Amino acid sequence: MSRVRTQVGIIGAGPAGLLLSHLLHLEGIDSVVLEARSRVYVERRVRAGVVEQPSADLLREVGLADRMDKEGLPHHGFSLRFDREDHRIPLTELTGSAITVYGQQEIVKDLIQARLAAGGDIRFEVSDVAVHDVETDRPRITFDGGELECDVIAGCDGFHGVSRGTIPVAVLKTFQQDYPFAWLGLLAKAEPSHEELIYTSHERGFALHSMRSPEVTRLYLQVDPDERIEDWSDDRVWDELHLRLETDDGFELNEGPVIEKGITPMRGFVAEPMRYGRLFLAGDAAHIVPPTGAKGMNLAIADVLVLSRALAALLHKGETELVESYSDTCLRRVWRAQGFSNHMTTMLHRAPGAEDYQHRLQLSQLRYTATSSAAATSLAENYVGLPF
């Protein structure tokens, strides 16, 4: 077994783990990133596509935004579609900020390239990862054929990773909200049908029109959580999208070859605390939000920014204040994002078996949001991202 000494062992090469490694490198702190999947897999794994203003500003600040600024799509508003018409939320007019549509997998590519160019140590296809001795000042990570001796371990390995399970049940509290619907996502080689995102409330269920580039459209449909993707032919998906997205002013949905199709469950999840000894959780390892609010990747970015500052204070100066407040600091933002995402989800989705009373409450909230400057500003402020 090979033994390697590093300051920070990072489990997971998603946006959280890779950005943390980059931020630590800028602070002069060594790290090793361990990833169970191949580089090809993580660079092709399609996930989030909305980058909040604070996240985009941070990527620019740390030298990771060249391709995002060249290929990303800045959006200064989005539409709430209901009653068969659009009601635009002017994000920049209301907040002075915007969002950028740029795929999570593209950020991962940029991070991997930057880390490898700087001599970073990223190990793909690592198996049998286990965490040890996190209650000491010399925690360890073992894996097939090797061991990392660390000062700190960062668990950035997602909802199903090994890190969170290391925290004793008596210490860890978990909170979960399962929603009675799922999203069927479609990636199509088709020019987007609208210049901005469209969040649609329809009597048949929610639909979302998004994009990844001027040539690729990302679309979502609300479906039952027990639906099988095999039962949704491309033609059936397109027919349902046309039905839910149609408007009285003649909106036309562009179709194209389907690149990818899948069903994702909807849940909210938070683990507290996000730190146990020298183990720190970040990103999906600590929290999951329903995707309606576009917060998942942005919360991961916020987590590792806080963590990088805390670890710099600990490892350079021996100061523990930021380390000790890490969990509380992150969780304040996490719970605000949970609240906003739940608000967007319940406002836009048709719950199975919901009575007309509930549907009319949703329409009332949508109409209020679309006509009240105060309500629209609150939504916009949360959507573009609260300051770090």
Please tell me the distance from the alpha carbon of residue 219 to that of residue 172, in angstroms, as a whole number.
36
pTM as predicted: 0.95
Instruction: Mean pLDDT check: name the lowest of 4-18, 37-51, 106-120, 140-154.
Output: 37-51
SS3 state at 146: strand
Write out pLDDT tens, residues 208-225: 999 999 999 999 999 999
Write out pLDDT tens, residues 149-161: 999 999 999 999 9
CA 351 to chain centre: 24
Percentage of residues in the chain having pLDDT higher than 70: 100
Active site residue 357: no
Write out pLDDT tens, residues 228-255: 999 999 999 999 999 999 999 989 999 9
Active site residue 173: no
> Is-contact 385 75, C-beta < 8 A?
no
Please tell me the distance from the alpha carbon of residue 193 to that of residue 255, in angstroms, as a whole number.
9
Q: What burial letters (b/e) apply to 43-80, b meaning 16+ CB within 10 Å?
A: beeebbbbbbbbbbbbbeebebbeebeeebbebbbbbb
Please tell me the distance from the alpha carbon of residue 82 to that of residue 88, in angstroms, as a whole number.
11
* DSSP string of 299-324, one letter each residue: HHHHHHHHHHHHHHHHHHH---HHHH
Averaged pLDDT, 293-319: 97
Active site residue 368: no
**Tokens representing residue 228 in the block:** 């099988």
CATH architecture designation of domain 179-266+352-384: 2-Layer Sandwich (3.30)
Percentage of residues in the chain having pLDDT higher than 90: 95
Sheet strand arrangement including 85-89: 85-89, 78-82, 198-200, 207-213, 216-223, 173-188, 258-272, 287-288
Active site residue 75: yes
Residue 74 clears pLDDT 80, i.e. is over it:
yes
Yes or no: domain 2-74+99-176+267-344 corresponds to CATH 3.50.50.60: yes
Task: Give pLDDT, residue 373.
Answer: 97
Quickly state the pLDDT bin for 351 (edges 50, 70, 90). Answer: confident
CA angle 272, 27, 166 (to 5 degrees): 30
Write out pLDDT tens, residues 155-199: 999 999 999 999 999 999 999 999 999 999 999 999 999 999 999
**Tokens representing residue 74 in the block:** 């800045």
Q: Which one of the listed residues 102, 179, 326, 383 is annotated catalytic?
A: 383
Residue 352 clears pLDDT 90, i.e. is over it:
no
Q: Which one of the listed residues 54, 295, 326, 349 is annotated catalytic?
A: 295
Q: Which one of the listed residues 15, 22, 194, 199 is annotated catalytic?
A: 199
Task: Give pLDDT, residue 354.
Answer: 74
Active site residue 291: yes
Q: Quote the mean pLDDT of the chain.
A: 96
The residue ranges of every structural domain in the chain are 2-74+99-176+267-344, 179-266+352-384
Task: Give pLDDT, residue 46.
Answer: 78
Task: Give pLDDT, residue 28.
Answer: 98
Q: Which one of the listed residues 102, 290, 291, 349 is annotated catalytic?
A: 291
Write out pLDDT tens, residues 112-159: 999 999 999 999 999 999 999 999 999 999 999 899 999 999 999 999
Q: Which one of the listed residues 22, 25, 75, 202 is annotated catalytic?
A: 75
